[in-house]
Amino acid sequence: MNRAIRQLSPGVTLRYIATHVAWVTLDRPQARNAVDGDAALGLEHAVAITEADVDIWCTVLTGAGEQAFCAGADLRVIAEGEAASLSTPGGGFAGFVNQPRQKPWIAAVNGFALAGGTEIALACDLIVAAEHAAFGLPEVQRGLVAAAGGLYRLTRAIPRALAIELILTGERLSAQRAQQIGLVNHVVPMAELHACALALAQRICANAPIAVRESLTVARAAFDHDDHALRQISAHAMHTVANSNDFKEGPRAFLEKRPPRWSGT
């Protein structure tokens, strides 16, 4: 496996860190990993690469350094009148929050994730956080609106009353409290964050990749459709899985009392 770091843009890197696992880094520590135009293009490129590569089954997204996962939009870019560059037509803010993805993404939050940083984390499927990490949508404190998915994704992810309190006050949420209310999967010391995210990715990759992707498709749609539509989406997922080679491999491995050898086909 090629573990060399690929520079996707001046602000985003990608490397293959383990079998079937990609690691994407917002690499602008001097700007607290805030999103500029290059970072948006880089993240959009990262999604395209990981979706197209059949050998990648799960991706981890983190920020460089230990201070910030992402501070949101780069205010210098906005001040220069280039706010439009922070989004892409297909991906929305950061080239990421609206980007269609079949494969799971894990946010490894290595510091504070504020405004657009929280929105990027919420657009991932799972979140692990360092003990000093914090989340927040402080847009109302600046006369703005968290329009990159934060307002509805946060309200879906945690109890409604708590979400509205955070949205209307703009206050921060500690990693520990975020875990207590179900926003974060795991909280660990900073020194263990990398290993925690990788271990979670590898637990996912131990399973049949097509079954994982199809299951994730249904789970993501849970808040968007009624039960009738979700039954249809689930039936389509089952049909897709049933036509895969891995559908046969799973029962065969069980009967032969051996680990399954997933092909992803």
User: Which residues are tagged catalytic?
Assistant: 119, 139
Q: What's the CA gap between 246 and 264, in Å, rounded?
A: 7
d(CA 153, CA 149): 6
Q: What 8-state DSSP symbol labels residue 168? A: H
User: CB within 8 A of 144, min separation 6: which ones?
Assistant: none
Closest CA to 125 of 53, 48, 216, 215: 216
- Cα–Cα distance between 50 and 150 in angstroms, integer? 24
**Residue found under tokens 């131990």:** 206
Which tokens go with 55?
């050998």
CB 216 within 8 A of CB 104: yes
